[in-house]
Structure 1
Amino acid sequence: MTGITRAVAHCGPVSLDALTAEAELLTRVDRKYLMRIDGARAVLCAVDDRTRVLEQHGARDFAYESVYFDTADRLSYHLAARSRRRRFKLRSRTYVGAGVSFLEMKTRGGRGVTVKERIAYDPGHRRRLTEAGRAYSAEAFAGIGLDPALVDGLDAALTTRYRRTTLLAPDGSRATIDTALVWIDADGRTLELPDWVIVESKSAGPPSALDRALWRSGMRPAGISKFGTGTAALHPELSGNKWARLLRGPFATATESAAPGSATSVTAARPHLPAPRPTKDLS
């Protein structure tokens, strides 16, 4: 049992089917917080006893892997860094323990909501776009006013790995707590933040009870993007002004490992930088 799962041990379980039925929230408002793990535990210990925790086969935290696709000139990254209205994130999401993958397109809807569409995907192809993946991506690009031909230049650019605990609150909102945070770029360089967690609330709009508890503890939404901030941290030559505070703060303490076979060894700190249903879901 991890420190996070111990913090919510007073909460009852919820099954994946019940969680999906009650609060799938593919169209939602996300608020993200990057915080020390001890601070997260303190807040979670006090959540409403009626909160339920996703549990499968007795486990309450699960391994995830996401592979993000981008063009050679990093179009997806630059659109995110500049907060463009038509920005997108295309990724495969794998639920490691279940051996289930999806190909997901995340875009921004009206009033800052996140819209996520996804199709079932072969886990064996999660690091590449199959013909079906290319067709899905091209259609998604056309739907947000981008050139479908962009799909021809997409390749795996960043991999993230972490463990996730998911909460279902009495008000129907959800929250996820991600630990053991790891980023790996296309060259195999690795960045880790072992002492930090990402807490993300997901609601239909208004702040959740967890948001208010985090605010009372002194936390405010950090605007962290696993894809954007991780890319900026691993590639300091890119403009990362949108995430400058995080790059100078938590990410400045991250540990970095060189790609296998590189002459560069592990760096103690960066001195200058900081299993759902296999169907298509569309909101």
Structure 2
Amino acid sequence: MLADLAPITLGELEASASLQTRIDRKYLVPTSALPVLLDALDPAVRTLEIDGERVFAYESVYFDTPGLTSYLGAARRRRNRFKVRTRTYVDSDVCWVEVKTRGPRGATVKTRLPHEAAGRTELDDPALRFTSDALDDARIGGLDGPMGPTLLSSYDRVTLHVPSATPGPDSRTTIDTDLVWTDAATGRERALVGLAVVETKTGSTPSSTDRLLWRHGHRPVRISKYGTGMAVLHPELPSTPWRRVLDRHVG
């Protein structure tokens, strides 16, 4: 199905649908349903292609304080919650440190800085300064100590460029499969078996991908690769936002 879609380069995608401030909607879709959905996409949708490849390996390392300030902020739905991670594009060995905070009306605001891939499980001095500045800009304080790695997630991703039907920026849809969570301290692993995480990244208006998913009976769910992964590996932690997903899909 991917082979039937027209390609788009990374430069074209970032120029028309960078969406560093955006509305994220996430869906859990059985992998067996993906061919039908891909076949029904808007014909104008294009897929990211780099050096002839359309499926790319990703690895994220999440960082938190000793008291899990980031995790608990999400678990307790605090207004000033945040997330800090390194994101590595495994195939190209390119890495960024990224800080995600909350903007107006629930929008996600992401800022990032290049990072050495070889040191992706640590935050070096430039990354620490960048992280501190980003959190200060978002008026987030009260951290209980230095941040260290807590969780790794690895998966394969397909990225789609979705033209906007209204004036405004185009959107992205990502399809993540073969997701595996690994505890940074113990090395324990859990996999999300038989399910894909489909995420739409839009402006204020839902994309044609959202409407396609709705027509096929899929509704947005609360799932966070960091929050849900930590809750799976550490069932003693509070996990109210992701309880339905944990009970119905992860177990």
TM-score interval, normalised by the smaller of the two chains: over 0.9
Confirm or deny: 8 A CA contact 2:67 2:144 kept in the other structure. no
The residue identity in structure 1 corresponding to 2:222 is G
Residue aligning to 2:229: 230
Of 136, 154, 162, 1:161 maps to 154
Q: Tell me, yes or no, if the aligned pair for 1:138 and 1:151 is still in contact at 8 Å.
A: no
What SS class does the counterpart of residue 9 from structure 1 fall into? Answer: helix
- SS in structure 2 opposite 1:249? helix
Q: 1:32 aligns with which of 26, 32, 35?
A: 26
Deviations 1:228-249 (A, max 9, x none): 0110011000011111111111
Equivalent residue for 1:194?
193
The CA distance in 2 between the partners of 1:234 and 1:184, in whole Å, is 8
Q: Which amino acid aligns with 1:73?
A: G
What is aligned with 1:49?
43
Q: Once the 2 structures are TM-superposed, how far is the Cα of residue 179 of structure 1 from its aligned partner?
A: 0.6
Deviates more, 1:163-172 or 1:137-146: 137-146
Question: Residue 90 of structure 1 aligns to which amino acid in structure 2?
Answer: V
Alignment partner, residue 84 of structure 1: 78
- Identify which of 155, 173, 179 aligns with 2:171: 173
Query: 1:155 corresponds to which letter in structure 2?
Result: G
The residue type equivalent to 2:16 in the other structure is E
Q: CA deviation at 1:8?
A: 3.0
Extract unaligned runs of 5+ from structure 2. 165-169
Percent identity between matched residues is: 45
Residue 138 of structure 1: CA displacement?
A: 1.2
Q: Distance in 1 between matches of 2:143 and 2:121?
A: 17
Shift of 1:173: 1.3
Shift of 1:151: 8.4
The 3-state SS of whatever aligns with 1:98 is coil
Q: CA deviation at 1:136?
A: 0.9
Q: What TM-score results when the alignment is normalised by the length of structure 1?
A: 0.84
Question: 2:95, 2:218 → 1: CA distance?
Answer: 33
Q: TM-score, normalised by structure 2?
A: 0.95
Matches of 2:136 and 2:242 in 1, distance apart? 29
State whether residues 10 and 49 of structure 1, in contact with CA within 8 Å, keep that contact through their aligned partners in structure 2. Answer: no
Which structure 1 segments of 5+ residues have no match?
A: 1-6, 253-283
Q: Write the distance in 1 (CA, Å) between the matches of 2:220 and 2:34.
A: 13
Aligned residue runs from structure 1 range 131-142, under 5 A? 131-142=125-136
Shift of 1:70: 0.4
How many matched pairs? 245
Match of 2:216 in 1: 217
Match of 2:97 in 1: 103
Deviation string 1:88-125 (CA, Å, 9 cap, x unpaired) is 00000000011100000001101111100000101111
Conserved? CA contact 2:222–2:245, under 8 Å: no
RMSD: 1.2
Look up the equivalent residue of 2:40 and give its one-letter code: A
